[in-house]
Structure 1
Amino acid sequence: MRIIMSRIRKRASFILDEKGFFSTAIVVSILAMASIMSIALLLTTNVDVSNTKQDELVQKSLYIAEAGINNYLWKMNQDENYYKTTVDPAQKGWVTYQDGSYSLSVTQTPSRPGVILESTGRIVNVQSGGSTDTVSRKVKVRIQKKSFVHYLYFTDYETVEGTGDNIWFITGDIIRGPLHTNDGISIDGSPIFKGKVTTSRTIYKKSGSNPDFQQGYEENVQPLEIPTTNQELKTWALVNGYYYYGQTTISFLSSGSLNITNNNSLSTGPTGIVSMPSNGVIYIDGQAGSKFNSTNGDAYVSGTLAGKLTIGTKNNIYITDNVLYNDPNSDVLGLIAENYVFINHRDKYGNDVAPTNIEIDAAVFAINHSFGYEDYAYDVKGTLTVKGAIAQRYRGPVGTFYWSGTKASGYSKNYWYDERMLYTQPPHFIEPLNSGFEVIDWNEL
């Protein structure tokens, strides 16, 4: 016990004798480490501050680029011919905006009223040492006029014409493209909407319904105003187009020609096998009497189109057989009736001449009424395929179904949006009355 205590005392004595030396060394080491950590922390803080500022400048330069686009878009909506000129002096070079600037590059789109606009936003960053660097971002947008062909499916009213009864989207309905209605939307079940859905009112979902909005939906948007006439097409037809009066049959030929039949002396357009009109417009004027009245402003159309064409009628358009494109990448057709666009059911002898299955490649517009099967409540048919766009005042029926989903009459629907309609359209296609310009495509370069 004593031996142990003696050793402990010696060890303690040694530590006490050296205490001053070891305490100083430890303090110096701690201070050195603290200094290093402080410098590292300061450097890290400076880097974080620098990165934060850089991020802010990057975001702000994007904001400035978009401000340039918004300014140009505003001017286009003040003057619909603004885009037809080169960039005006106020927009040339770098335009100062807040604490940065933007520069615009404008390219007109030949097939549609509008422009492709590139806007570069930049900020010159002055660093603490006096040096500078430039932060910039660039975006590219397509600006075009609002159009009825921007939608696979457009209606003014989602009701049965004459009764006001709501028409429902139900389980089994698949809308393969964008949809807009100025009316409300009624849903029962699980319809599928593959494009964005917009309504100028609201969406009503029956209890238990589960619609699939794959691109989302928006309510209470501005309505698109439908004109009540297509008379501007008549004007185009009288100037470098084809004008006819009374019942007219038009067959599209894959060679690029048309076979036109009309026997009215008031017509000025050619008949027989003819070339396409130079401005791409045909108009059929006339009355709105019983179906087979020879003075009706009706067109009967079918065939395979090679070219770009719009057909307008004072009364109805009857589609008698397939209407197809010879080249789906370049051909485009507009069918615009002031009243109805029908799939023809019976000939003048009462025979059922409607095809079992039919395909229509076109942008269809029934200005005051609807698109549909002429006698949708009679006879069970096959499938109606539409590849294009459909606009109508009222939603028109093409068939009837039992609540079980079994078809009772008419056609089943197979509608596909022609996405080219976002960037091109049939010649002189009718526009909304409130047809301002809008951004339809946005990309960062």
Structure 2
Amino acid sequence: MGRGLLILVSGLVIIVGLVQQSISNRIIAIPERTVDYHQETDVQNVANSVLEYGMEELNNNQQWTAGLSESDFMGAEATLQVFNFQDFVNNNPNIPADHDIQNWDQWTLLLVSTAETNSTRAVVEAHITQDSFSRYAFFSNDENGVNFTSTDVINGPVHTNGTLNFSGTPTFNGPVSSPNMWNGNANPQFNGPTNFSAQEIPLPTNNQANQLRTQAQNGGLSFNTNINVVFNNDGTVNISRNGNPPTTFNLNNTNGVISSSDTVTVQGTVNGQATVHSSSQVRISGDIRYQNPGQNSSDVLGIVSQGNINVNQNAHRASGTQDLTIHASMMAIGQGNSFQLARFNDGVTRGTLNLLGGIQQDTRGPVGQFTYNWRGRPVLTSGFAKNYTFDTRLGQMNPPFYPRQSTFSVQYIKEKPVEFL
């Protein structure tokens, strides 16, 4: 019995000793780990601050690639490297091998921020890009007092720098943003995220749009007269100048840009990729369709006008119906310019304007007029009813050289594990 008690007591002494040793080790380890944590946090904060500095510089100057090299930036040695498409093409050895960019292009930048102290190193990288305006289902600088009504269902991103006006129950199935709260006695259905304190997004300037003229002169089709453009379902396009007999061009033999300093009239079936540009105005004279409008199609069209984009009041008659179909992303830039129906208020009711694509415009233009019946439902009194469908492919693909935003959007930010030196 005495021997058993002795063994039990001895065991308890050993256990207590081990527990005390463990507690002592924890007392030592906790401050050590606390020091490590603070060192990690501090150097990571410096790396993120350097990255934020670079993004701010790029928002002020989209051509900035100077980077940063400071021996003492918030207590650490800091560098920022800015890699562009040319660096990628030239296999710059400083580009991190483990970056996550899938598709480089001329609007892609990779920022790599490094902060280093005597004991730690942190690296943060970011993929940023200038988005194409074709990503918007609807964009305007000024809503011009025009309402979204109960008949409107918008499936893609919507932004205005003005104030959205609603009546009835318009439906928005994508993100909606504006610097201003919406207006109207209405019950809009927002099925996506909203931001009514967003920053303004400037439309391209005329100088930016003129880059399409440059592209047309260097691999595209450039003209200085009125032209009539008719797309053919075999991948060719007929272009006539000032009413003269047309010339046929193969889109595959161009960079896709068709531009004129004068009025451009367009219709037809698009088989391929193209952007039609006018320094003056664009007129739509009939249906514009993709040869293959499916989700796996590579057919895409952009229409960019530095004046109005006018739908001819008789455009629907080109196919012998009351309806009109347009497959394209369309942009009207320049103060007061719009996508609109000519003679929208002539009292002639047409059918439905079926749009697959998107509209970006300085000032919102009308395509029809409505009144409300005794049940409070909108009734078309002139012009077209609307059936606008966002082409979701435009989130991943763009018409050739379609104008880009002047600001950058972040595709990803990756914080790499902090190294202890």
Fold in common (TM above 0.5): yes
Contact 1:345 1:353 in 2 (8 A): no
1:23-51 residue CA offsets vs partner (Å, 9 max, x unmatched): xxxxx999998876665455445555555
What aligned pairs does 1:42-441 form with structure 2 within 5 A after superposition? 42-44=24-26, 49=31, 56-60=38-42, 62-76=44-58, 80-83=62-65, 98-99=75-76, 101=78, 104=81, 106-108=83-85, 113-119=106-112, 121=114, 126=119, 136=122, 138-144=124-130, 148-159=133-144, 166-171=145-150, 173-188=152-167, 190-200=169-179, 202-206=180-184, 209=187, 211-212=189-190, 214-219=192-197, 221-225=199-203, 227=205, 233-234=212-213, 236-238=215-217, 240-263=219-242, 271-276=246-251, 278-286=254-262, 297-324=263-290, 326=292, 330-346=298-314, 355-367=321-333, 368-376=336-344, 378-382=348-352, 384-387=354-357, 389-403=358-372, 404-408=376-380, 410-418=384-392, 420=394, 424-427=398-401, 429-430=402-403, 435=406, 437-441=407-411
Task: Provide closer, same or farther for how the CA distance between residues 375 and 407 of structure 1 changes in structure 2, counting only shifts above 3 A.
Answer: farther
How far the C-alpha of 1:54 sits from its partner, in A, is: 5.1
Contact 1:320 1:354 in 2 (8 A): no
Q: Distance in 1 between matches of 2:187 and 2:148?
A: 10
Q: Distance in 2 between matches of 1:332 and 1:97?
A: 49
Q: Distance in 1 between matches of 2:186 and 2:236?
A: 53
1:231-284 residue CA offsets vs partner (Å, 9 max, x unmatched): 55445545554334554321223433212222468xxxx942212374433223
Q: Distance in 2 between matches of 1:191 and 1:38?
A: 70
Q: What amino acid does structure 2 have at the position aligned with 1:182?
A: N
The count of residues paired between Structure 1 and Structure 2 equals: 382
Q: Distance in 1 between matches of 2:32 and 2:377?
A: 63
* Unmatched tracts of structure 1, length 5 or more: 1-27, 127-133, 160-165, 287-296
1:117-149 residue CA offsets vs partner (Å, 9 max, x unmatched): 1525465684xxxxxxx56454331232x6533
Q: What amino acid does structure 2 have at the position aligned with 1:212?
A: F
**Secondary structure of the structure 1 residue equivalent to 2:408:** strand
Task: Provide closer, same or farther for how the CA distance between residues 354 and 243 of structure 1 changes in structure 2, counting only shifts above 3 A.
Answer: farther
Q: Distance in 1 between matches of 2:354 and 2:329?
A: 15
Task: Provide closer, same or farther for how the CA distance between residues 309 and 187 of structure 1 changes in structure 2, counting only shifts above 3 A.
Answer: closer
Contact 1:69 1:117 in 2 (8 A): no
1:153-192 residue CA offsets vs partner (Å, 9 max, x unmatched): 1111111xxxxxx223344533322222121223445544
Larger radius of gyration: 1
For the aligned residue pairs, the C-alpha RMSD in angstroms reads: 4.5
Q: What amino acid does structure 1 have at the position aligned with 2:260?
A: I
**Secondary structure of the structure 1 residue equivalent to 2:51:** helix
TM-score normalised to structure 2 length: 0.71
Contact 1:152 1:179 in 2 (8 A): yes
**Secondary structure of the structure 1 residue equivalent to 2:182:** strand
How far the C-alpha of 1:219 sits from its partner, in A, is: 1.5
Contact 2:231 2:269 in 1 (8 A): yes
Percent identity over the alignment is 17
Task: Provide closer, same or farther for how the CA distance between residues 308 and 59 of structure 1 changes in structure 2, counting only shifts above 3 A.
Answer: farther
